[in-house]
Every structure is written in C-alpha cells, then in structure tokens.
Structure 1
Amino acid sequence: MSKNPWFETVAEAQRRAEKRLPGSVYSALLAGSERGRTIDDNTGAFAELGFAPRVVGHHAQRDLTTTVLGMPSAFPVVISPTGVQAVHPDGEVAIARAAANRGLVMGLSSYASKPVEEVTAANPNTAFQLYWSGSRETMVQRMERARAAGCKALILTLDWSFSNGRDWGSPVIPEKIDLRAMLRLAPDVLPHPGWLWSFARTGRIPDLTTPNLAAPGAAAPTFFGAYGEWMQTTPPTWQDVSWLVEQWGGPLLLKGVSRVDDALRAVDAGVSAISVSNHGGNNLDTTPATIRILPSIAEAVGDRIEVLLDGGVRRGGDVAKALALGARAVMIGRAYLWGLAANGQAGVENVLDILRGGLDSAVLGTGHAAVGELSPDDLVVPEGFTRTLGAPTLGASALGARAIGV
C-alpha cells in the first residue's frame, strides 16, 4: 500500500484495492454479467451528462441533508447492501461505523458476513436487505430478527437473475475455506501478504457463511447454500410484495426497478420507496444504465414514493446528476468496497468524503443552497440520452389494480 493511506478519488481506491486483493477476490468485486455492457453503461452514461454552471450568486453555505426511508442522512448517499465480503476482516461492521461517522444510512445484506446485531450496534440507522428466498415463515423469522436488532427499514431486492458467466471469466469461489481450499487458492493469495496478514492477525479466515440467514439454533448456511435456497424458491408475485409490505409494517424499499409500469405497480403494492437498479450490471446484460431510465420513473411516481438510484456512482458529481434527474438519494456498492479494501474503515470514510465533497462542489457551481434545488436545468442532457422502459398503456390505477389481482 502507498505510504499515504489517504486517496483523492474512488478510481485510486479501486487501483489500491486491485493491488492489495487476491485476483479472485478483486474479480468478484468487478462482477458484471456476460459482455459487461450494462456495468460499462452504468458508469459511462454519467460522463455523457454535463453541468450548466452559474457564475454569480453562489451560496457560501450549502445544505446537503435529506431523509431516506424515514432516517436522517447527512448527504444523499446510502450504503447499498452487498453480499459475503472477503475484502477486510471487519467487513460490514467497519462499513457501518464509517457510515455512522458520516451520518449515513447503512444497508445490510442478508448475505452479509456479519450478524445484523453487530451492524446495528455500529450504526442504528440500518436497513436490512431481504431476498425472496425460502418459505414465508422463514422470511418473517428473518424480518423479525432484523426488527429486534433495531433495523429501521427493509430493502427487498428482486433484480437478481444471477448470470452464470461473463466473457472475461468468473472467479472461483469455494464453498468454504478449509485446508483443501487454502491449498488451491495459495498461488492467488500468497502474492498479497498485506491482505493475508489483515486476516491472520485477527485469528480469523474469510467467512463465506451467511449468519443472518441462520435458522434459530442452527448453523449459518454457506453462500452457496443460501443461493440454493433462492434458486428453489418460487419467484414472488405482486401480491407477495404487498404481503411483505404488510408483514414488515414500516418503511420498505423495493430494489431493482427498471420499468415505469413496475414502478406504478410498486406504488400500488404499498412500498415506501424504490431503487432504480440493474443490480450493478449483475442482472440482465444490455439493460440500459440506471441514470438513463431514472427520469421517466421519477416523473411517474416521484410525487408518491421515494425514488433512489444505484449503479455506476463513482463521483460526487454523479450524485448531483442523479438528484437533478429526480432521485432522492443514490446507493453505492463497489465504491465503498474498494475503500474498505484499500484502507479499512478509514478507507470507506475516505470514499464517502470524496463523494460529499464532489456533491458540494456541484451544488455550489450550479448556484444552489440545497441539494433539493437541483433540477434538469442544471444539466446538459444529450439528445437521445434517456430511455423509457415499460411505458404503461393503462392508467396508473387500472394498472395497479390489474397487478394486485383486483
């Protein structure tokens, strides 16, 4: 690692993460499916948008605060839930502490490597993420555990189709870290002594189990065991989504919306918020970048529920562009994982500071006093930039009624 642990950009955090991590671990963070067109478009589309800055009338103080799912946020960035983490021994707990120190909401994956109780202790403003996996009774048990731990919101992720391959190769992920796995992975791991030592000094090895999916009194399943459960679960209907909203009884975000008609159905199902998402390019490849499809969705439902965006956010200017096109906040994943790999909790805080600083500069440069004032007038949007998927032919109420079987 560089003698100076601080870095100036998320791109530098990524470079340091690549240098520090074993190839298989770093490759897992890159993710993407098939050709990787969607992951490339997620990031590239932000660069196609320009700002229309003002030169006079700037505000000496800018208000970046907002609320997300009923929780205060120092600026409009949410930690998106990411699964089993092998980039740092402190994993989600370090991320939760970093988010708490910066006044942000923590999203915790049900596939996380740390128990929900440890994460909420580190950050009281935590939203627990759930897949539609297992029986209804099992899902209720997991929700109630999250509620008892102090989680204040639920994230239901439905945009995962799990492509089995990608053109540049998928990493080998063992079922568990045992002697056989360690011997097989040694050539990949040994050239990265810093990463290896970070685990060795704690007396722990990378944990590939999912403690938040453990049944009462049972051992935590492995990632592949959890994936097998998901594969064997019948996909949900809109009636199932409505049932889950009722069972939780609090703020619930539906993650994975790409179409206007799905956004309208989500409103009628009773969700509090949606995230315009393609699972960071891990869903169906060649799905358009989320920033391209955000405006049509925000226009359709943004006055009734909170609309968030995830996918491709690497700079504070990206956050500002998403807000200008209708998002209440953005969710980040890879960016904070690279920070965690580069420098632990301090690296995550470093990434969050970079995003906050870039956002503040954009609000200043466009002449606003608060993030809520950002609008399309602050951007240069190229002709043909946006995409509208699933434009309904029925009115919203009729479409929602059809969706829930009325």
Structure 2
Amino acid sequence: MLNRRHLLCCGAAAGLFTALTASASPSLSALSPGRATRHAPWPPEVQALLDRCWADLDATQLWDVHTHLLGTGDSGSGCTVNATLDQWWHPVEMLRKRFILKAAHVAPDAPSVDLAYVARLRALAEAFPTGARWMLFAFDHACDAQGQPVPAHTTFHVPDRYAAHVAAQAPQRFAWVASIHPHRPDALARLDAALAGGAVALKWLPSSMAIDLRDPRLRPFYARLAEARLPVIVHCGEERAVPGARREDLGNPLLVRAPLEQGVRLVVAHCASLGTALDLDRPRPRHVPAFSLFARLMDEGWGDQLMGDLSVVLQTNRHPDVGRTLLTRDDWHPRLLHGSDYPLPGIAAAVRLPTLVRAGLLDAADVAPLDALRARNPLLFDLALKRVARWRGATFSPTVFATRPHFERASVA
C-alpha cells in the first residue's frame, strides 16, 4: 500500500508532468476579471484578500513564467502522452494522471482533453485584471546523442506549433515558450523559426530530455540564444514528475554556468528548490541541497543574466528554509519571477497551508480565504499565497511579480 508521503510525491509529480493530460470541464462557467464567476461574487473575506493581493501590483506587468500547456492530441494538436499513463501495470503512472485530471478539473469523459484543458485555463485567466498573461510551455521529445527522438523516454510532447497556435488565439492572455532539443540536426533552424514566431523563451528539462548543458556541441545554439537574448527556462534540482531519460545528474544547478559563460540568459525553474546535487566545486564532490547551489550562483555576480522562478517553492515537499531565504533575500527579488507551474496549484495536498503556518511563513487568518480561493481558482490562489507569504516581516517585493520586462524584449511578435 502506498503511504501518505508517497501519495503526496506522486500527486506533486503528476502536477508537473501529467498536466499534459490535464484539462478542464468545458461546461465550467467563465470567470470575470477581479471577482469570481459571473454568477457569484467572492465572499467578503476572499475579496479582501484579493484586494490586498492587487494593492501595489500592475497587472499589465504580470506574466506567469511557468505554465504548462498539455494535451493528448485528440484535437489534432500533435501532443502525445507516454502510453504508461494508461497501463494498469504501471500504477504509479496511472495515479499521476488521476491526480492531475482532478487538479485541472477535467471530466474523465471530456470530448477533447486538448480543448478542455485550454478552455479551463482561459476561464481561470479571465478572473485576472486586463494585462495579466501566461507563458505557455511547449515540450520537446527526449533525444539520443544524434538528436533523434526517443519515445520510450518521452513522458509527454507538446509541439512548438501547438503552443504558438493556442497563444495566438488569445494573445491578450497568452504568450508561448518554445522547446527545442539542441541535439536535433535542425535545432538552429527550429530556433530561428521560434524566434520569428514570437516565442518569448525556451524550455529545457535536462534530466528528462537528456541535455548536458556542458556539451561543446551546444555552443552554436548558445551563440544564437545569446544574440537573440532569448531566456532559457531550465529545470534544476530533483525531478520527480517527468522521469524521461532519468539523468538526474544533468539537473545539477552548477551546470548552468556553461550557457551563462556563453552569454545566455537563464531562468532556473523552481529556484532548484528540491533534492540534492553534487557540489562540483569541491575537490571531493558530495551531495548538498540543490537550492544551496542555486544560492551560490545567485551570489556570483551574473546580474540579470541569471534568474529564478518561484513556482512551487512553497510546496509542502520543499524545506521551509527555501521560502524563508527567498523572502528575506530582497537583493535577489529583481531576479525572482512569479510562476505557478499550472496546473499543479490545483492539487490541494501539494501545498498544505497549516504546514506553512507552523513554519512561520503564513498567518493563520489567511488560511480560510486562501482555501476558498483555491477551490474556485487555483491560479489566483497561487498568486495570493505568494503575496501574503512572509517570514519575520519580510515579503516578496512587487518586482517579483513584474515579470514582463524580462521576456517581452525577446518577442518578435
């Protein structure tokens, strides 16, 4: 029998990767900016929380930098899902899918998972003031050393063209993020096409996609990224959600020095806040918290060339010291970026509010309105949680939520 801790890990894993199978019920009512559904206003205590949330923020500068766009391909999107997610002899994989379907409010019998997922996301986004946008991730295949796709190592695939298409249908709410495996023979041509198509960033998950950031063959790709100033959002730290190639060693935060040295702009997803990695700076490397290596990089003088996104940093499987450090290091705040890792915020067990209260990161009075907010709009919940989180009086600065300037300069659209 799976114990409680293992279930939580599986659920969190589901959030990041089987979000691809997630989707929303197309019958979900639309949400109107600023309050809740068109049919019911927020309760007073929730509206008061939202008023605090937006008090000193400019919604036109708020771009959620970590949003998964996922699907099964049932609409002709080209998205794919690894077959293990539907095979009873892979119970953990099936459990991941089950968790994320529930988190994304998708009906198991939805006529189209692709379309329902986008409909749900658009409905949730409409609860935000005009100007707020979400950066939708494409996700490339895992590839071998010759750049050929390896289906067995590809947990899910979201084509660039699909991400660009969805963003183009609602440009006032969505931008898109390309994903190109740099070993592909046509990687540079794909990158140029993504730039011409208005991609605002590039997404890599090295441990899953089998990308060694130190590989000398990546230098021409890095040169083009640096020339275009296109940021790379790269997952560092432990990866429980998208096993893929299972190269955990490639998620070491210190490996981002290779593209940084070539002038590439980097966003470390989740601030490398989960798991351990080898401290390669030691004569005898040993495993240390991956977050400590991220902190080292942030203090090395890379300036705004190196950033971190705050998605899931307050999740229950992160040590409270992660949140405490990020809140109090206000010198980092101009380089820390708001992201939700949607649809993960829809998994209630992933963020246990009483646990944050006990850790001193949340006021007990905020638990009830946050719970009510999460039940109806996990995107607003995620934003509000970051806005009210605190440690000994320190909170996240408004600059953390003014993410647009870091990406719009890369857009050609």
For this structure pair, what is the TM-score category when the shorter chain's length is used for normalisation? Answer: 0.3 to 0.5
Higher relative contact order (CA 8 A, sep 6+): 1
**Greater CA radius of gyration, 1 or 2?**
1
TM norm structure 2 = 0.38
